[in-house]
Amino acid sequence: MEFDYPRFLLALIFVIGLIGLLTLLARRFGFGAIRLSPAFMGKGRNGKSRIAIIEATSIDARRRLVLVRRDDTEHLILIGANSELVVERNIRPLVQKDAPEMTSSPAPVPDGNLE
């Protein structure tokens, strides 16, 4: 039995090309990502949005950890293939405070004498 190397290499290149094409199509259509329809991105009272996805990260192939803000409260949610779990609720967002200004001169450096 004779092995046909050119035919084998063409079949291998064809299969690798199909895998690459499927990967590009999956990325293009957002397979596994959270996408929001424009219909769901409506505004609440006074034209301000009351709810937003602050951050989302993949835990593994089936689970995703999502930080959702509603009004001034954040909720950490674990979203799986068949279930959702609220990990932490009523998280207050951190408020970044400006560093206090230095009004006095820096403290003197000791000269090394311990007396």
CB atoms within 10 A of CB 74: 19
Query: How far is 17 from 23, CA to CA, in rounded Å?
Result: 10
Place of tokens 């004779």: 2
**Cα Rg of the chain, angstroms:** 28
Whether the Cβ atoms of residue 93 and residue 110 lie closer than 8 Å to each other: no
Place of tokens 């970044």: 96
**From its phi and psi, is residue 30 left (phi > 0), alpha (psi between -120 and 50) or beta?**
left
Question: For 8-55, what is each residue's pLDDT tens digit?
Answer: 999 999 999 999 999 888 877 766 555 555 555 555 556 677 888 888
Q: Quick one: pLDDT at residue 101? A: 54
